[in-house]
Structures are given as C-alpha cells and as structure tokens.
Chains A and B, each alone.
Chain A
Amino acid sequence: MKSKSIILALAATLATSTAAYAEQMTIVSWGGAYQASQKNAYTDPYMEMNPDIEVVWDESSNEAVAKLRAMNEAGNVTWDLVDVVAADAMRLCDEGLAMEYDPDELLAPAPDGTPASEDFGDLIVSDCFIPQIVYSTTAAYRPDLLPEGAPEPESICAMFDTETYPGKRSLEKRPINNMEWALICDGVAKEDVYDVLETEEGQDRAFAKLDTIKDDVIWWSAAAEPPQLLADGEIVMGSSYNGRWFSAIVEEDQPFKMLWDAQVFDLDGWIIPAGLPEDRLAMVKDFVKFATDTQRLADQAAYISYGPARNSSAPLVGKHAELGVEMGPHMPTAPENSENVFVYNYEWWADYRDDLDAKFQSWLVQ
C-alpha cells in the first residue's frame, strides 16, 4: 500500500511539474544591460498581464546558431524565442532552423494602422527575422589621455594614426569591421570597400594598413572589455557597441567621448525556432506580438541607447527611465550621429568569413 501511495505521489508531482513546464517560456538573449532593457520593456509587463506564464532566460545568444543546430540534431529544441543578430538570423533561416513568418499576421500594426511590414520596412532582412533594434559598432576615446596639443579625433582613421594619438587601442578580434575600416583609412571609397576586399591585393592592402598598428592593439572578444580598458587608462581609444559606450558615459559617468564616424550599423531581433509544438508556438506568437509593438520598442529605448526598429517608435523615444537623460541624441540613428554610417555586407561576409578569418587569425599570431 505504502509503495503504491508513493508512486501515486510521484506521478502527481510529475504531472504538476509538466503542467508548470507548459507555462514556461524560454527566451534566449545576450545578458547584461541589453537583456535588462528587454526585461524592463517587455517581459515584466507581459508577465504582469499573464501571471500564469513564467519567462526563463538563457544567456547564450552569442552561441545561438551552434546550440540550435545541436538541439535540432538531437531532436529536442528547448528554446522558445531567440534573440540574434541579423547575420545569424539569416543563417538559421537558410538552414530551416528558424521559422518563416508573415510580418502582417504575426506583428502588431503601428498605432496609425500602418501594417508591420511597412513599419519595419527594409529592416526585415530575412523571412525569419523579427527586428527589434538598430545598434552600431563605433569608436570612443578619452580626451584627457590625448597628448597635449593633439586635436580631438574626428574620424575613424585616428585609430590608425599612432603618431598623433600614441598609445594602445582596442579592436574586436575578428576581421569584420576592422578590414573595412582599414581600407577606408587607406583611401578606399566606402562604396568600393567590398569590391576591393574581394581581391587578393585588396586584402593584402587592408592587412598592411592594420600592420601599422598591430603592436598597439589590444584585441577584444567581449564588448564589455573596451569600456573597461578605457576606464583603466590602458587604451586611448577603442571600438565597441554604442550601447556599451552609452552606459559607460551616461550611467557610469566616464570621461569618454564617442566618435560615431564610420559607425557600422547592424540589427538585432528575434527568431522563433522552427518546429515548435502548437501550444508553445501560440504562446510565443502572443508574446512576440506584444513585445514588438510600437510602444514596447519605444519603451526599450528608455533603458538602452539602441534605436527601435519600427519607424513609428522613433517619435515615442523619450528619456532614460532612471536618469532622465533625453535618449534621442544617443541613438546611432540620430541624424547628427549617422552622418557617416557604414552598413556592412552580410552576403559578402557569409562567403568570405571562413577564408578571411583564417587569414586574419594567422596574421594575428604571426
């Protein structure tokens, strides 16, 4: 009798735990200030409206493609919604690991009735990609570390000018962005960059330009490193995401200045893993519709300086939620910041990534 009641109790626990599981939604994001902005702007209000749904965060977005592939091979996708950059979304979509969707059906229209497909416009760069924000990789420097008499840097080429601006600088440990900046500073016009980079001579040219600062670079792989290095006085300038610079400058009051010149625009957004069961899919769809509406995207901008992906959200962007700083001027899309923008070529990099990465890494170690 006793063992029977234990089994019954066990079965009951199992049943309730699976029932509880059905109301969990696993969202994958990047952690840090960005995830906090999502939590504040979308998931907290959503959970308030739907008390029976519990959001579980997984901070593995930088390995999302690898993990989704592995989950798919294992036949057990445990994620419900994944935050990825546009290039990863394209890759996942091409491989059938992300669900294709119809923007006008899944996403809420703008308050004035403009369908979502128009409101997001060109930012829906792939059939599976649900854009949230525009961010950029850009440079910042510390005026107090500049040598006396040196003018404040105005262009990205200050990164390559070790005579006027001696000291270390920090760049991301990958060829993307660095090769383009090197060519631009070697005198290649912005629109010709990829044509030049496609040739053997063009690649050599970019490496030759990078050679001139090779000994002065501290390479980063986590975007939090350059602001830290700059705060420590280890470097005079560095590249990172604009949101990281913003939080260092505005929230932590660091004496940095941003360059914005040749900032590289990129997009970040959601994908829904392909093949979710009906009930989970319905829950995710409901959440995505809420989380990407005009007001929610504008709300997110109150916590982090990334531009909302909807046209209709831009006018609603107001002040920082805690500091009361006007957020508009800190957005990468603000007119005075986006005078000289560089949009990187996803397609081109998809092809040349393996090749150039091998070259870049061997260039680094040699």
Chain B
Amino acid sequence: MSDTTSNTAEKLTTSDGKPLKASFAKALRRQKMRALILIAPLLLFVLISFAAPIVDMLFRSVQNEIVPETLPRTVTALESWDPASGELPDEFVFAAQRDDLIIAAERKQHTRLGSRLNYEMTGMSSLFRKTGRRVDDFGEIFTEQFEDLNGAWVEPATWVSLMASEDWIAAQTEWASADDDTVAEPAFEVSEAAKEALPRTAEIYAGFANVIQTEDEDSPTEEEPWNPVYAALYGDLIANPDAAANYSGATAELLATAAAAVPDFEATTAREEFIDADEDWGSLDVWQTLYRFKGPYTAGYYLAALDAQMTADGIEMVPEDQRIYLLLFMRTLVLSVVITFSCLILGYPIAFLLSHLPLRSANLLMILVLLPFWTSLLVRTSAWKVLLQQQGVINDILVFIGLVSDDGRLALINNATGTVIAMTHILLPFMILPLYSVMKTISPTYVRAAKSLGATDWTAFWRIYFPQTVPGIGAGAVLVFILSIGYYITPELVGGTSGIFISNRIAYHISSSLNWGLAAALGTLLLVVVLLCFVIYDKLVGIDNVKLG
C-alpha cells in the first residue's frame, strides 16, 4: 500500500532508474535460482534414486490394476450385474470373460492374475490356471459348424477381408511387397463397418490380431482365428441377422448365408463351457470376489495388513487363527521399547565414564565401543548364537558355577530373549555416542557448585547433571528405537518364532511369497507407526531437545 501512495520522487531507484525494491527482488531471485541450479543435480538424484522408488513401492499397496488390465471386458460387463442378487452373472459376462481369458492366456498373464486373486480367495489361482489351459477350446463347436457351412471360414484371408480396415489392408500389402524383415508388419486395425455390424467379433478379433502380431510375431493374414472368435461371430449373427448389409463383395454373401444358417446351429453358452472347465465358475463366491476386486485400486492389502478382509457382507476380521500382523506390530513396538531401555541402562554409565576419564583412557575405551560397531552385523549375530545356545558358552558357565542344573539349561536364543540381547548389543553404540557427545559438553562447574551449596552426590547428579543429559538420551533413544523397529536380519537369525519382527514378514512377502502389495501395505503402516512415535515423542520431550553433539 505504501508504495502506491508514496510520492514517486521519494522512491529509491537504482542508477538505471528502476525501483530499488524491484531490482533487489530480482537480484535475490537470481541468487535463489543460482543456488537451486547448483543443488539441482543432488536434488534430482535424491528424487530419482530415493523418493521415487519409495513412492512407487508405497503405491503398490493400493494398486490393483492387474484385474482391470487383464480382464477389461469382464470388468465392464460386471457393472451390469448385481452381486447381491444371489444369481450368477448372465451370458454376456461369461462371454466377455472368455474373450479376456483367451487373450490373457496367450499373453501368460492369467496366472499372475490368479495369484493376485488367490490372496483374496483360496483356489482362484488354480481356477485361472486350469481354465487358462482349456479356454482355447471354448467355442470349438462353432468353429466346426462354420467350417462345415463353408470352408472359407477357416481361411485367414476371409477374416482379414471381413475385419480389417481398408487403410490397414493397403499398408499391409505395401509392407508385404517390400519384403523387408527388419520392419514389423503394421499394427492391425479393425474397420468401422465390422465394429458396427459385428461388435463382439470385431473386439475379440482385434485382440487376436494384436496377440498374433506382438506375442508370436506372426501375421493375422496367415493364422486361423481362435475358437472364441467363432463363438463371438455366432453371438453377433444371432443378435443381428442383417449384419451382411454393411459389407460388399464376397464376404457379404458369406456372412448372409451364415446369418441364415446360425439359428439351426448346435449351440453352447460360454457359461456352460466355463462351468464345464471348472465347476467353481458356478460358485457365487468366485464372482463376488471378482466383483469386489475389479477396480484399479483396492484397500485389500491394507485390510490384510490389519488382519481384516473384505467379504460379501462388508469388512470383517479374519479368523482368529490367521491373525498375525497386529500381534507382530505390537511385538515389534514392545521389544523395540525394551531394547531402547536396555541400551539406555547399559549405555548411560559407559558414556558417563567415557566423558569423565582423562582423554587417553577415554580414547582407548572409545575404541572398545567402536570396534564391535565396525564388525559385520552377521558376524556379531552368529557369535551370539554360539554364546547363547543351550550347549553354548554362557549356559556351560552357568552350569559350571551351579546356577542352573544340567537339564535346566536356559533358553536364551531362538526366542524374544535372544532378540533383545543381540539387538541391544548391536545398537548400543548408537546410544553411547550421542550420550557421550552431550555429556562431553556439560561443564563440571554446575555439579561442583551444587555440591558446594550442600547437595549430596545423588542430588547433584539427579537435579543438576541428569537434566542436562536429556537431549542426549532423547537422541540416543530415538535413534535406537527407530533403528530397531526396522531391523530384520538379527531377529530372523536369533528370534526363533517369538522374537521375530514385522519387518521379517515384509522381507518374506518381498522375496518369498511375492505378495508385494501386502509388503508395501505393511511397510506403509510401519512408516506411519514410526511417524506417530515421532509426533508423540515431540509432544512429550520436544524434538528441539534432541542433540547429537
């Protein structure tokens, strides 16, 4: 406001007459830009190599594109079905499923879809695998009858002239006459006339031509269509006997005779063929599951990560004997707290000693702290296995000094005790180092002053010294807690069954069961838990109080 109201004469300007303010802002902006350009490579590197993969991985926890991508026609057709009706979907849906499945089977996508749906319903995997093997026979009955009607129906050329657009035929002829192996055949295009008169046939034939060209690197001009194409043609001709009107030449005649003949064809439905291939297709559950998971995004993985599932009646907890994730989350948190506390109890006196010893001895002790820190994690963990097992060194000593009897040897490993012991050892330096660096900066004069005013050793420590170390405790505790929450190698090796963490399940789903969606959902939840702990910590202690040195 002041700018516009103030007198122009009073305005400060630069030598070239521009207002100083604008010129200054411009210079500042240029400076900022320069700074940004300087850090741009780093920023880009962090974004591309760190942030993007994490976001991509987290995105998998809701991704369900495999269903709509593998079964596009079925998913659309299912819109018209009411899953609560208690009846199976109609023939239209089954026919769409047949067309989708044969394309998926040719592209070998159906088994992956089966494994995806198997997470939601046991048996889906084999259902898709089994049906995928048989789907190319679906509609064979029609192929035979069309062939009996006129041998031309099995000629690839008949189908090309019926289905292909004129542009494509021209491009293909040109390509064929060039006879150049290095150039691929032009991608097949369906004619408008075919789409209009024989919509289903055109759809599946286009899918057929695409698979033939991309998967088999062959040409639709040389391959007889799949059986389901004939089934689709039968369906189209029954629905629209006047289809031939759109065509000219020999195909019109052929089509007209076929249209006249199809009402007398021996027919079967896609539904019958599916149920014949596997009776599970007649089960309402299968279709309801498909219906629930037809969208491109799903909450299914998050529900599974929280021991819940989506059923026909809404969201429910999974049976008692299959609930593990909440338990594992709780255990991870509880054991991490225990590990953090034992690190604190063991680390505090050591850090105290380190910061009060003369430099020479302190350095020696520091090396003793750092040496195991520099040793391989696996080596240290395996060493604990040797020490802690029932026939191991520690148990032997305990038996020798008579603390435990020979048959009463303690179970110190392959359980939660083992995890706590080994992880406390591994994470101890992360507690000692911040504590030490904070204690090092505390001036001894405060404690001396307190003592000179009559405080006992304990009071001087507790009321004067300890409060000044809280930032170090905070830093060490946050570090140890967050590290231990995400640990998986040590719990895997020494944790047995009662000492494993949620991260062990994440690792399992990433590398063994290949359920990446569930792993991503568990990982996201773990991230949320860590952030929550962070917020709570900030409320209780204050993150500004954390000091690493």
Chain A residues at the B interface, C-beta cutoff of 8 Å: 62-63, 65-66, 69, 91, 94-96, 168, 173, 218-219, 221, 232-234, 347, 350-355, 357-359, 361-366
A234 to B327, CA, bound (A): 29
Contact of B323 among A221, A350, A352, A362 (CB under 8 A): A362
A350 near B119 with CB under 8 A, answer no
Question: Can you give 8 A-B contacts (C-beta < 8 A)?
Answer: A62-B511, A63-B511, A95-B111, A232-B392, A351-B126, A361-B505, A362-B323, A366-B321
A62 to B513, CA, bound (A): 11
Contact of A66 among B392, B496, B511 (CB under 8 A): B511
Chain B positions 80 through 120: 1 when the CB is less than 8 Å from some CB of chain A, otherwise 0: 00000000000000000000000000011101100000110
When distances are taken between beta carbons in the complex, the residues of chain B under 8 Å from A359 are 321-322
A358 to B125, CA, bound (A): 16
Residue of A nearest to B120 (CB): A354
Question: Known contacts being A63-B511, A95-B112, is A354 close to B119, with CB within 8 Å?
Answer: yes
Among B123, B125, B327, which residue has the most Cβ atoms of chain A within 10 A?
B125
When distances are taken between beta carbons in the complex, the residues of chain B under 8 Å from A95 are 108, 111-112
A354 near B513 with CB under 8 A, answer yes
Question: Known contacts being A232-B389, A233-B391, A353-B513, is A365 close to B498, with CB within 8 Å?
Answer: yes
Residue of B nearest to A200 (CB): B319
B383-420 with Cβ < 8 A to chain A: 389-392, 414
Question: Known contacts being A219-B497, A351-B126, A361-B505, is A96 close to B324, with CB within 8 Å?
Answer: no
A341 to B527, CA, bound (A): 47
Chain B positions 454 through 482: 1 when the CB is less than 8 Å from some CB of chain A, otherwise 0: 00000000000000000000000000000
Q: Quote the shortest CB–CB distance from B66 to chain A (angstroms).
A: 12
Question: Known contacts being A96-B107, A96-B108, A353-B513, is A234 close to B321, with CB within 8 Å?
Answer: no
Residue of B nearest to A70 (CB): B516
B122 near A352 with CB under 8 A, answer yes
A362 to B129, CA, bound (A): 28
A66 near B321 with CB under 8 A, answer no
B514 near A219 with CB under 8 A, answer no
Q: Quote the shortest CB–CB distance from A168 to chain B (angstroms).
A: 8
Contact of A234 among B390, B497, B505 (CB under 8 A): B390
A365 to B391, CA, bound (A): 25
Q: Quote the shortest CB–CB distance from A202 to chain B (angstroms).
A: 14
Question: Known contacts being A233-B391, A351-B123, is A218 close to B328, with CB within 8 Å?
Answer: no
Q: With an 8 A cutoff between CB atoms, is B272 at the interface?
A: no
A232 to B391, CA, bound (A): 7
A218 near B496 with CB under 8 A, answer yes
Contact of A351 among B125, B331, B496, B510 (CB under 8 A): B125
A287 to B512, CA, bound (A): 29
When distances are taken between beta carbons in the complex, the residues of chain A under 8 Å from B514 are 65-66, 69
When distances are taken between beta carbons in the complex, the residues of chain B under 8 Å from A219 are 414, 496-497
A62 to B126, CA, bound (A): 23
Chain B positions 427 through 452: 1 when the CB is less than 8 Å from some CB of chain A, otherwise 0: 00000000000000000000000000
A234 to B390, CA, bound (A): 6
Q: Quote the shortest CB–CB distance from A158 to chain B (angstroms).
A: 20
When distances are taken between beta carbons in the complex, the residues of chain A under 8 Å from B510 are 66
Known contacts A354-B119, A359-B321; 17 additional CB pairs below 8 A are A65-B514, A91-B111, A94-B108, A94-B129, A95-B111, A95-B112, A232-B389, A234-B390, A351-B118, A351-B122, A353-B513, A354-B118, A358-B322, A359-B322, A363-B321, A366-B321, A366-B324
Q: With an 8 A cutoff between CB atoms, is B218 at the interface?
A: no
A69 to B109, CA, bound (A): 13
A364 near B497 with CB under 8 A, answer yes
Chain B positions 503 through 537: 1 when the CB is less than 8 Å from some CB of chain A, otherwise 0: 00100001111110000000000000000000000
A361 to B509, CA, bound (A): 12
Closest 3 CB pairs of A and B: A96-B108, A94-B111, A362-B324
Q: With an 8 A cutoff between CB atoms, is B140 at the interface?
A: no
Q: With an 8 A cutoff between CB atoms, is B224 at the interface?
A: no
A355 to B319, CA, bound (A): 12
Question: Known contacts being A66-B514, A218-B496, A234-B389, is A362 close to B321, with CB within 8 Å?
Answer: yes
When distances are taken between beta carbons in the complex, the residues of chain B under 8 Å from A350 are 125-126, 129
Among B118, B505, B510, which residue has the most Cβ atoms of chain A within 10 A?
B118
When distances are taken between beta carbons in the complex, the residues of chain A under 8 Å from B126 are 347, 350-351
When distances are taken between beta carbons in the complex, the residues of chain A under 8 Å from B498 are 365
A218 near B108 with CB under 8 A, answer no
Residue of A nearest to B327 (CB): A365
Residue of A nearest to B497 (CB): A364
Contact of A354 among B107, B391, B511, B515 (CB under 8 A): B515
Residue of A nearest to B304 (CB): A358
A121 to B19, CA, bound (A): 90
When distances are taken between beta carbons in the complex, the residues of chain A under 8 Å from B500 are 365
Residue of B nearest to A203 (CB): B321
Q: With an 8 A cutoff between CB atoms, is B65 at the interface?
A: no
Q: With an 8 A cutoff between CB atoms, is B144 at the interface?
A: no
B300-322 with Cβ < 8 A to chain A: 318, 321-322
A96 to B108, CA, bound (A): 6
A362 near B390 with CB under 8 A, answer no
B414 near A218 with CB under 8 A, answer yes
Q: With an 8 A cutoff between CB atoms, is B492 at the interface?
A: yes
B322 near A362 with CB under 8 A, answer yes
A355 to B469, CA, bound (A): 50
Q: Quote the shortest CB–CB distance from A68 to chain B (angstroms).
A: 10
When distances are taken between beta carbons in the complex, the residues of chain B under 8 Å from A218 are 414, 496
When distances are taken between beta carbons in the complex, the residues of chain B under 8 Å from A364 are 497
When distances are taken between beta carbons in the complex, the residues of chain A under 8 Å from B505 are 361
When distances are taken between beta carbons in the complex, the residues of chain B under 8 Å from A94 are 108, 111-112, 129
Q: Quote the shortest CB–CB distance from A345 to chain B (angstroms).
A: 11
Contact of B324 among A62, A91, A233, A358 (CB under 8 A): A358
A135 to B107, CA, bound (A): 33
A62 to B514, CA, bound (A): 12
A347 to B133, CA, bound (A): 14
Q: Quote the shortest CB–CB distance from A317 to chain B (angstroms).
A: 33
When distances are taken between beta carbons in the complex, the residues of chain B under 8 Å from A221 are 492
A365 to B332, CA, bound (A): 13
When distances are taken between beta carbons in the complex, the residues of chain B under 8 Å from A232 are 389, 391-392
Residue of B nearest to A207 (CB): B321
A361 to B318, CA, bound (A): 14
A221 to B493, CA, bound (A): 9
Q: Quote the shortest CB–CB distance from A353 to chain B (angstroms).
A: 7
When distances are taken between beta carbons in the complex, the residues of chain A under 8 Å from B323 are 362
B497 near A365 with CB under 8 A, answer yes
Q: Quote the shortest CB–CB distance from A39 to chain B (angstroms).
A: 24
B117-173 with Cβ < 8 A to chain A: 118-119, 122-123, 125-126, 129
Q: Quote the shortest CB–CB distance from A236 to chain B (angstroms).
A: 12
When distances are taken between beta carbons in the complex, the residues of chain B under 8 Å from A233 are 391
Q: Quote the shortest CB–CB distance from B130 to chain A (angstroms).
A: 9
Q: Quote the shortest CB–CB distance from B378 to chain A (angstroms).
A: 12
When distances are taken between beta carbons in the complex, the residues of chain A under 8 Å from B515 are 354
A173 to B492, CA, bound (A): 11
When distances are taken between beta carbons in the complex, the residues of chain B under 8 Å from A62 are 511
Residue of A nearest to B121 (CB): A355
A173 to B507, CA, bound (A): 14
Residue of B nearest to A347 (CB): B126
Q: Quote the shortest CB–CB distance from A200 to chain B (angstroms).
A: 10
When distances are taken between beta carbons in the complex, the residues of chain A under 8 Å from B108 are 94-96
A96 to B110, CA, bound (A): 10
A63 to B126, CA, bound (A): 23
Q: Quote the shortest CB–CB distance from A90 to chain B (angstroms).
A: 9
A250 to B332, CA, bound (A): 42
Q: Quote the shortest CB–CB distance from A91 to chain B (angstroms).
A: 8
A75 to B129, CA, bound (A): 25
Q: Quote the shortest CB–CB distance from A150 to chain B (angstroms).
A: 16
When distances are taken between beta carbons in the complex, the residues of chain A under 8 Å from B107 are 96
